[in-house]
Structure formats: C-alpha cells, structure tokens
Amino acid sequence: MRRISPHKTTRVLLTIASGFGIACGGDSTAPQDTNAGVTGTWAVIATESGHGLSCQFRGLEFNLNQTGETFSGTWTAPADIQCRDTDGRVVKVGEIGSIVNGLVLTGEGGNIANGRVSGNQISFELKPANASLAGTLQGGDGMSGQGTDRIEFAEPIGTIEMALTWAAQRQ
C-alpha cells in the first residue's frame, strides 16, 4: 500500500476546494437582486368593506412589468361584483348612488402606477380608480395584502373610503 504524504493531501484538497469555490460561487461582491419578481399576469380576488357594505370582486386581473425595484402595468375591471349590506341583502351598486370613480366601476380597467418592490413587500396604485394597495409576495406565484379604495359617488353621498383585502395568483 502506497502512502501519500499529508502535505500532498492538503495541497490536493485545497486545490479542489478553491476550484469548487470559483466554479460555484462566482464573484461574491457582485450586486444581487434580492427583490421578488412580479412580472406577469395575475388573477385577483378582492373584497371591500365599509359604510355598511361588503363587496366582492371576481375576474379582476393585473398585468405587471417589473424593472429593478419598480413595476407598472394595467388592470382589467372585475367581471363580477357583488355587494351586500349589513343584513346580507344583495345591493346593486347603482342603488347606492351614481358612482363617479372607484374600483366598483365596471369597464375597461386602467393603469397600475407607483409600483414598488422591496424584498417580498410590494405597493402600488390602481388608476383611474383611487385604490392604493400594499402586500406581500408568497413564493413565486402568489401575493396578497390590504389597501383602500376611495369611491366617489355623485352628490349628496360624495367620497367614501373602503378597506380593501386582496389576493392574487400568477397565471
């Protein structure tokens, strides 16, 4: 049996270890993007509540494009909106009053503005609706959070603010 000197064994192991570090580690001083990615199409479910109403939105969609720590995009108006009063009765949005602006409008949707990503935290606004949202990315395909929607009714009601809870799944 041939015996290898301990000095040669150490040199061989150090050579292998340093080669492995270069191959796998790369440049550890290079900047790394630690922000989660939001680019893509997201199916959204949202619920608003306040002023004696609770409204659920289905068919809402976000189309997002991220560059670094910012993102923008578009949103499509919800296909289905159902509101209930405190007694659980279904209330048609038109029965509440004539809406001037707000997420409860059906139509084409609008733009997503002022989108920010910091780690797994996000915030953005839905325009022309007066909705501001913030939340957390869960893994790569989910996000959820809370926000507010300022709904502008025609006089005599005026503007009301409703609390918003939302969840989205990447498509």
CATH code linked to domain 40-170: 2.40.128
Task: Give bridge partners of residue 128 from the DSSP assignment.
Answer: none
Going by the DSSP 8-state scheme, the letter that residue 89 receives in this structure is: -
**38: which 2 tokens?**
């939001």
For residue 83, what pLDDT is reported?
78
Mean pLDDT of successive 10-residue stretches along the chain, which has 171 residues: 48 35 46 73 92 84 96 85 81 56 60 95 91 93 94 71 94 95
Tell me the pTM: 0.71
For residue 20, what pLDDT is reported?
35
Contact predicate 153/96, CB 8 Å: yes
For residue 146, what are the CA distances in angstroms to 9, 53, 92, 130, 153?
Answer: 59, 17, 24, 14, 22
**65: which 2 tokens?**
């494009």
